[in-house]
Structure 1
Amino acid sequence: MLRLHAGDWMADLAPEDGGGMTLLRFAGRDILVPAPAGSRLGGPFGAFWMIPWANRLDAGRLGDHRLPVNRASDNTAIHGLSRDRAWQVEAAAPDRAVLTQAVDATPYVYAARLDVALGPNGLSLALAVTNTGSAPMPVGFGWHPWFVRTVGTRLAFRATHRCTHDARGLPIAIEPTEGLDGGDDAFLGLDTHFAGWDGTARLAWPGLAVTMAATGALATNLQIYAPPDKAVLCVEPSSHMTDVANRADLAPFGPMRVLAPGETLTGTITLTAESSHLP
C-alpha cells in the first residue's frame, strides 16, 4: 500500500491490486467506501481502473477476437485487463505516486502510466495508455469509484444522451437527456450509460461537496451505478460507450479509439472538495 497525503486529503493506493485506490478521505470524511482489510478491489469499495475497455463486452467479442468472459452470469468480459494485474511503482513521494504497467495479452499489447497526485486543491489522476504492439488496436478506459452514499446524497451532471439497457446491462437504445440533478429519486437503481457528458459532475453530502472534472478521453461518457441494496454511488468517467465494439449503431455516441503502434490515449480526472452543504 502507498499512502499519499496533502492538506486535508488522504489516499491509499494498491499497486499490486490493479493500481487501484483503497481509501480516499477529505478532512477526515470518507469520499470512497474504504476497502476492508485484506479484500481485493472489485467489490463495493475503493476504486479501480478499467483498461483497455470499460464496462462490458458481450461474450467477450472484440472484432475477430474473444476476450476472457469473467462474469459468467451474464456472459460478458467486464472492466478490462489491467485491474487483474499488478502495477509497478516508478516514483513515490508523500503527495504523489507514478505507477506503470505493461500488458501482453493478445490482441492487447500496451503500456499504461498513472500519475496520482494530492494537493491542497484535491486529487489528480492522469492516465496514459500506449499501444506497444505491432498492430492497431481498439482502446478505451474508465475509472470505477465507489463513492459513499448516505442519506441526503445528491448528484448533478449534464449529458446529451442516455441509454436504455437489457437485463445484462448492455445498451440497446439511446434517447436525449439533459443529465441528472437530484438525490435518490434521480439515480437510485440506475446501471445506466450517458453520452455527451460535458466532463463535470458534482456529488454532495450534508456538509460536503465534491466536484469531478475530467479532460481528454475521459471527458465524453459517464456510467452511473447506484444499486438499491448497497450504500454506494458509482460515477464512472469512461472514454467510450459500453459494448460499442459490438453495437455499430451506438458508435457515434462514444467509439473506442483505434491506436496505431506507438500511439497514446490520455485522460485526466480531478476531484476538488468544499465543506459546504448543498440544499
Structure 2
Amino acid sequence: MDGLTIAIAGGAWDARIAPADGGGLIALRHGGQDVLVAAPAGARLGGPFGAFWMIPWANRLDAGRLGPHRLPVNRPQDGTAIHGLSRDQPWRVAQRLEDRVILVQDIDVAPYSYAAGLVIAAGAGDFTLDLAVTNAGDVPLPFGAGWHPWFVRPPGTRIAFRATHRCTHDSRCLPVAAAPSPGLDGGEEALLGLDTHFAGWDGVARIAWPGRTLTMTATGALATNLQVYAPRDRPVLCVEPSSHLPDAVNRPELAPLGPMQALAPGETLTGRIRLDCSHGAGAGA
C-alpha cells in the first residue's frame, strides 16, 4: 500500500484499489494478464480504464431530476447527472487483509443520505465484489447501483449474454423505447458502436478473449439490467451490471423494465458480482 492504493492478491488474481478515488479498481489481472485496462499513473477513474461504482443511481438522470429533487448536472453537454455520487467521494478502509479489503462510505448530499459498504476479495478461484447500500435518511427514496468496468478488448473478443429487451436511445443515450431481444452473442460485428441498455438480463455475461474466457455473474439487485459500451475509437469493452434502467424515475413507460428500488429509512440494497476466468486452448473459442 502506497498511501493512495491498496494491493490485494489471491489465487491467480491480483488487484489494485483506490479507496480515495471512489473505491474503484485501478488494475485487475488474472494469471498475469490484464482483465481491466489499467489506469495510467496518477489518472483519476472515470476515463477508459479501471472500474468504478455508480451509487445511488446508475447511468444518467435527465436534468438531474429525481421526483421533486434536483441532483447536480455533472455532464452539461447533455444536461444529465451521470453515474451517481459515490464515485466522486472517498471510501474509508474498514479492514484490509492480503486477499481482501472492506471499504465503507457515508454520503450526505441532498436529498440522499446513505451508508455504503463494499467487500472486495481475490479468492482461490474467483474475484468478488459485495455491495450494500443503506438509506440513512429520514424519508423513503429511490435507490440504485451499478458497476462500470473497462475491460480489455483485444482482436477476437466475443460476448454472450441473455436478456429479454434491448433499448433504443436518443442522442444523449437516454432510453426512448424497448423491443424484445434475446441479448447478444457475437464478436465485433455485434459489439462495435454499442452504448446500449438491455433489460431482463439473467445475471450472467461471458467475455471470450483469445485463449481465455471471463464469466461475470451478478446476483441480488445487480442482476437485472446491463449496459454495454464498445466504442469504435479505442479497444475497450464496458459490460455494466445495473439495478435499473437509465433515467427510470423519469420514464414511467419504460420503468417496469428496471425500476429504481424504493428504500425506506434503514432499508438496504445489496448486490454481488463474481468474476471467474478460465485459460486454455478451448477458452474463448
Residue identity in the other structure for 1:9: W
Residue identity in the other structure for 2:54: M
Cα RMSD (Å): 0.5
Q: Does 1:14 align with 2:21?
A: no
TM-superposed CA distance for 1:27, in Å, is 0.6
Q: Does 1:215 align with 2:216?
A: no
Q: Does 1:117 align with 2:121?
A: yes
TM-superposed CA distance for 1:187, in Å, is 1.2
TM-superposed CA distance for 1:12, in Å, is 0.5
- Partner Cα separation in structure 1 for residue 156 and residue 130 of structure 2: 30
8 Å CA contact retained: 2:12, 2:125 = no
- Partner Cα separation in structure 2 for residue 278 and residue 216 of structure 1: 27
Q: Does 1:3 align with 2:1?
A: no
Alignment of 1:149-228 (within 5 A): 149-228=153-232
Residue identity in the other structure for 1:278: G
Equivalent residue for 1:255, pick from 256, 259, 283: 259
How does the TM-score come out when normalised to structure 1? Answer: 0.99
**Cα distance per residue 1:185-205 (max 9 Å; x no partner):** 111100000000000000011
TM-superposed CA distance for 1:252, in Å, is 0.8
**Cα distance per residue 1:180-238 (max 9 Å; x no partner):** 00111111100000000000000011011010000000000000001100110000000
The aligned counterpart of 1:105 is 109
**Cα distance per residue 1:75-134 (max 9 Å; x no partner):** 100000000000000000010100000000111000000001111111010000000111
Alignment of 1:119-138 (within 5 A): 119-138=123-142
**Cα distance per residue 1:235-275 (max 9 Å; x no partner):** 00000000001000011100000100000000000000100
**Cα distance per residue 1:32-78 (max 9 Å; x no partner):** 00000000000000000000000000111110111000011111000
Q: Which runs of 5+ in 2 are unaligned?
A: none
The aligned counterpart of 2:74 is 70
TM-superposed CA distance for 1:278, in Å, is 2.4
SS at match of 1:83: helix
The aligned counterpart of 1:273 is 277
Q: Does 1:145 align with 2:145?
A: no
- Partner Cα separation in structure 2 for residue 119 and residue 103 of structure 1: 29
SS at match of 1:185: helix
- Partner Cα separation in structure 2 for residue 131 and residue 172 of structure 1: 30
How does the TM-score come out when normalised to structure 2? Answer: 0.97
Q: How many correspondences in the alignment?
A: 279
Runs of 4+ in 1 over 4 A off after TM superposition: none
Equivalent residue for 1:233, pick from 216, 237, 243: 237
- Partner Cα separation in structure 1 for residue 253 and residue 48 of structure 2: 32
Task: State the identity %.
Answer: 65
Residue identity in the other structure for 2:61: L
TM-superposed CA distance for 1:165, in Å, is 0.3
- Partner Cα separation in structure 2 for residue 170 and residue 230 of structure 1: 22
SS at match of 1:219: coil
The aligned counterpart of 1:88 is 92
